[in-house]
Structure 1
Amino acid sequence: MYEDFIRQRIEEFRNKANVSEYQLSLNLGRSKGYIQSISSGRSLPSMNTFLDICDYFHLTPREFFSPEITTPSLLHEVISNLETCSEDDLILINEILLRLKKNES
C-alpha cells in the first residue's frame, strides 16, 4: 500500500516539475534507469535517496506523505508571505480561511 503511494507521489511531483525519469535519476546522482525502476515497481528508494528526492522537490517528508498537499511550492510561498504579516492581518487572514473552509462544507 505505501509502496504504491510512494511511487505515485514521486511521479506526481516529477510530472509537475516537468522532469523525465532519466533526468531525475541523473539529478539525484543515480543511474539513468533508477527512477524508472521505482516507477515500475521493481524497487523503492532507500531512506537517504527518499530524503534526496524530498530535497529535490523542496518538500519535507511530511509534505510528501500528505496527499492533500498538491502544490507545496505555493504553500511555502504563502507561509513565507504570512511571516511578514502583523498579528491583526494574521487574524483577518485566518477568519477568511475559516469562512472559505466553511463554504466548502
Structure 2
Amino acid sequence: MDTNFIRERITQLRLSKGVSEYQMSYDLGHSRSYIYNISSGKALPPMAEFLAICDYLGVTPSQFFEETTDDPILLRSAIDELRKVSKDDLMMIITLARRLSKDTK
C-alpha cells in the first residue's frame, strides 16, 4: 500500500458516490482544485482532513484501507441490515453466502 492507493481509493469512492472532484472539494469547504490535487498526486490530505474525507464518503478509515473490498459503502449497508435480522435468519444468510462464494470460484 502506498500513496497511489490513497489517491485511487478516494477517486473510486468519490465516483461510487457520484460526485465530481469540484463538488467534493466544495462540500468539504476547500477550493475547487483540492480533491483534484489529491487525486493527481500533487498533495495528500492531513489526518484531520482524511477523516473528514472518510466521513464524506461514508466509510470508516478501516473500510477505506480494506484493499479486498471494492465497494465498502455497499458492504457497510449490508452489515447494517444484517444486524437487524434474527439469529436463525442470519445463519441462513451465512449458509447462502458460503454457497454463492463457492459457485464463483
TM-score (norm 1): 0.89
The separation in 2 between residues aligned to 1:40 and 1:29, in whole angstroms, is 19
> Aligned pair 1:23/2:16, yes or no?
no
Counterpart position of 1:60: 60
Distance of 1:28 and 1:57 partners within structure 2 = 11
1:53 Cα shift? 0.6
What is the match of residue 81 of structure 1? Answer: 81
Query: Cα deviation per residue 1:59-103 (whole Å; 9 max; x = unaligned)?
Result: 011111113322233222222221121111111111111111222
* Deviation readout 1:17-37 (Å, 9 max, x if unpaired): 221111111111122211111
Question: 2:39, 2:82 → 1: CA distance?
Answer: 36
Alignment: residue pair count: 105
Alpha-carbon distance in structure 2 between the residues aligned to 1:17 and 1:89? 30
Secondary structure of the residue aligned to 1:52 is helix
1:47 is aligned to 2:69: no
Amino acid at match of 2:14: R
User: Which sits farther off after the overlay, 93-102 or 75-84?
Assistant: 75-84
Structure 1 stretches of 4+ with a deviation exceeding 4 A read: none
Tell me, in whole angstroms, the C-alpha distance in 1 between the residues paired with 2:73 and 2:8: 18
Q: Unaligned 5+ residue runs, structure 1?
A: none
TM-score (norm 2): 0.89
Partner AA of 2:31 in structure 1: S
**2-side partners of 1:74 and 1:40: how far apart?**
26
Partner of 2:96: 96
Using the aligned pairs only, state the percent identity. Answer: 46
